[in-house]
Amino acid sequence: MVIDKVFLISTGVIRNGNNKVLLIKRGDGGKTYRGYWQFPEGKKEEGESIETALGREILEEVGLKMVSAKFTDIFVSKISVDEKKYLVVRSVFEVKCEGNVKVGDEHDEYGWFGKDEALMLKLLAGVSEVIERLF
């Protein structure tokens, strides 16, 4: 398989007091994968560290301020969009945040999920592997 592009993604695993993780559902404001659930995450912009990118994405996507981030793992997955092939490299962090969740323009809803609940959802490529390993 020929890869058209590699995406370096910062992914935030945010847990509540019941050890459930925050997932967000992609909506009409996003360009691709509408209806799929994912962690708050996003691409690193020019000049950003992966931690800075993660804090920015969490604020944009769920309205929370990142207080701390602890690197946990790297995950690699392949996705296809409009006949193009992409390699997604996720740097995954356990994140502590403050504030109240408010989804941004690209997502329709959010929820707190345990492992079994989360694995029943329609998940973005690579998300189930993160869930399996981190619970």
Q: What is the pTM of this model?
A: 0.92
24-50, pLDDT tens digit by residue? 999 987 678 899 999 999 998 889 999
Secondary structure in 3-state letters for 42-108: EECCCCCCHHHHHHHHHHHHHCCEEEEEEEEEEEEEEEEECCEEEEEEEEEEEEEEECCCCCCCCEE
Residue 32's pLDDT is what? 80
Could you give the domains of the chain?
5-124 (3.90.79.10)
Residue 100's pLDDT is what? 96
91-113, pLDDT tens digit by residue? 999 999 999 999 998 999 999 99
Residue 1's pLDDT is what? 67
